[in-house]
Structure 1
Amino acid sequence: MHTVELKQLTPSDYEILDALATVVEGIAASFGEHTEVALHSLDKNSAGIYRIANGHVTGRSPGAPITNLALMKLKEGKDVSDSYFARTETNRELKSTTTIVRNGAGDPIGLLCINVDLGAPIQSFLKAMVPMDCTLPGASGTPETFARNQEESVSSTVELVKTQVLSDDQITPSKRNREVVTRLHGLGIFNYKGSIPLTASLLDISKDTVYLYLRGLEKK
């Protein structure tokens, strides 16, 4: 362990913390209302919660002090702590993880703490994890491909856009390939090396045709 010494944060440090505000909201949105996500500032003049989502889990809001356990995790100096258990004043048992946020110089400027309420009813917890309007596996919707390389990423995107275009009755057959190329261009797919011949192959058209469509877009 090492001694924890808080310092006054710089404007650039706060820019990093501000940028993490959407991360706080994103994690909370992914795991639902029973997971609290708190971003703490380690500014010696105002150490405490800087951003928080689902604060009802512990009853806290921005400005609340850093917990003793979070400070202990900071003192340990481990960037991502092992999971640990805590209990709130209202006797809620939490499973928690603390991540140290560092600036470009490697100095700790914040703590990102995730606290899961283990006492939440299982049905409520599952409902929060899988909202009623969420597309479940096997249901209709837009599939997400976790590509392992660039070629897979391009191929899966082309196939997805192609499927969308083919299912749109408002697009005539003669304009479908052009529409696919137009949408792929909008997604930035043609910034990838080798994407044009791969797209041509998947659409069963020539590379020259893809280039022709792209030149038409550049003139607009």
Structure 2
Amino acid sequence: MNKKVKKKEIIDHYKKLVEFLGKVLGENYEVILHIIEKGNSYVGAIANNHISGRTVNAPLTGLALKMMKDKTYLDKDYVTNYKGFTKLGAEIRGSTYFIKDENNELIGMLCINFDSSKHKKITNDILDLVQTQLHMISPMVDETAISNKAEKEELHDQEIIEYFSDSIKEVVHSIVDPSFLNPNIALKQEQKIEIIKQLSKKGIFQLKGAVSEVAELLNISEPSVYRYLKMIDKDKR
């Protein structure tokens, strides 16, 4: 079977799975299929997108790009329970399953994001109620320890954090140091090269339109971006 045809069949299968999982898991779970193509990776299907506000054809997040760049999928079949934040600041829990072809190359990612805000509100309401009742019984009870119980249970280190964006510009801004993005500050050439180097490490240039977006951000031409990328690539050798 033609490799391109086989890939399409696999992707079409996962698109149906996205719709199925979205209905089965319910409105608190966002299900996303990322399609990975050379020089153009994007959201191919999404269910319950009210959670992150993202849409079909939206770019991948900085975290997804980093996992692609680092080839995390070669050592793992999936990554689970990492922290994420929507554009409105809501915290979610995400998990990603790597979709690979027969050559172990990444062709897609199936992501499930859980919006725990409703559950946290219920938990906090219950803890507030318990705190009030215990205070009535014994004013000497450590109220702080009780009210922060749920938070303390989640104080384990989270090494992976994802920020959800619906445009390449937002993805770039989530990666670059904000101090470099002040339009009133003229960046030196070495600073521009360093920014492009960091963006390249994060895999931003695997997104369609990233070069033009970065060129506009740094107030340089697209050929300059390509030239800097060649310089960076040459330094690696």
> Who wins on radius of gyration, i.e. which is larger?
1
**TM-score (normalizing by structure 1):** 0.49
**TM-score (normalizing by structure 2):** 0.45
Structure number with greater CO (CA < 8 Å, separation at least 6) is 2
Q: More helix by proportion, 1 or 2? A: 2
